[in-house]
A and B are shown apart, each in its own frame.
Chain A
Amino acid sequence: MNMILRELKASRRSLIFWMAGILAMVAGGMSKYGSIQDSGQSMNDMMAAMPKSLQALFGIGSVDLSTVLGYYVVVFAYVLLMAAIHAGLLGANVIAKEERDKTAEFLMSKPVSRMQVLKSKLAAALFMIVIFNSTVLVVSVLMVQHYGGGNEDAGRLAILMMLLYLVQVLFLSAGAAIAAVSKKPKQAVSLSAGVILITYLLSIVIELSENLEVLRFATPFKYFEAKEVLFDIGGDWMFIALSVVLSGVLLIVAFTVYQKRDLNV
Chain B
Amino acid sequence: MNVIEIKNLTKTYGSSRGIEDVSFSVEEGEIFGFIGPNGAGKSTTLRTMLSIIYPTSGSVTIFGKDSVKDAPEIKKEIGYLPSEVFYYDNMRVKDLLKYSASFYKKDCRKRIAEMAEIMDLDLNKKIDDLSYGNRKKVGIVQGLLHEPKLIILDEPTGGLDPLMQQKFFELLKEENRKGATILFSSHILSEVQKMCDRVAIIKEGRIIAVEKISTLKENNHKKIRIETKIPVDAAIFEFTGVTNVEQDENTISFLYSGDINVIMQKLAGIELANLWVEEPDLEEIFMHYYEKEE
Contacts and interface: CB of A to CB of B under 8 A. Distances in A.
Q: How large is the interface on B (under 10, 10 to 19, 20 to 34, 35 or more residues)?
A: 20 to 34
Given A111-B72, A112-B103, A113-B71, A105 B82 contact: yes
**Residue of B52, B89, B104, B142 ringed by the most chain A CB atoms within 10 A:** B52
B140 interface: no
Interface residue SS majority, chain A: loop
Given A2-B99, A2-B102, A101 B72 contact: no
Contacts of B78: 109
A246 B142 CA distance: 40
Nearest to A13: B90
Interface string B85-107: 01111100000000110111000
Interface in A86-132: 101-106, 108-113, 116
A116 B88 CA distance: 19
A106 B72 contact: no
Contacts of A102: 84, 86
B142 A108 contact: no
Interface in B58-93: 71-76, 78-80, 82, 84, 86-90
A265 B47 contact: yes
Contacts, number: 64
Given A101-B86, A102-B84, A105-B82, A111 B73 contact: yes
A2 B54 contact: no
Interface in A236-265: 260, 262-263, 265
Interface in B155-176: none
A111 B88 contact: no
A105 B76 contact: no
Interface in A1-37: 2, 6, 10
B88 A110 contact: no
A101 B51 CA distance: 19
A108 B73 CA distance: 12
Nearest to B48: A262
Given A109-B80, A112-B103, A113-B71, A103 B52 contact: no
A14 to B, nearest CB: 12
A2 B86 contact: no
A263 B48 CA distance: 10
Contact of A106 (B76, B89, B142): B142
Given A2-B99, A109-B80, A110-B103, A262 B88 contact: no
Given A2-B103, A111-B76, A116-B72, A262 B54 contact: yes
Given A101-B88, A102-B86, A113-B71, A262 B13 contact: yes
Contacts of B102: 2
A10 B82 contact: no
Contacts of A105: 47, 52, 80, 82, 86
Contacts of B50: 108-109
Contacts of B76: 111
A103 B84 CA distance: 10
Nearest to B139: A106
The 9 A-B pairs with the shortest beta carbon distances in the complex, nearest first, are A102-B86, A109-B80, A262-B53, A2-B102, A110-B103, A111-B75, A111-B76, A105-B82, A113-B72
10 contacts: A2-B102, A106-B87, A106-B100, A106-B142, A109-B79, A110-B100, A111-B73, A111-B103, A260-B54, A265-B53
Given A105-B80, A262-B52, 8 more contacts: A105-B86, A109-B79, A109-B80, A110-B103, A111-B103, A113-B71, A263-B52, A265-B47
Interface of A: 2, 6, 10, 101-106, 108-113, 116, 260, 262-263, 265
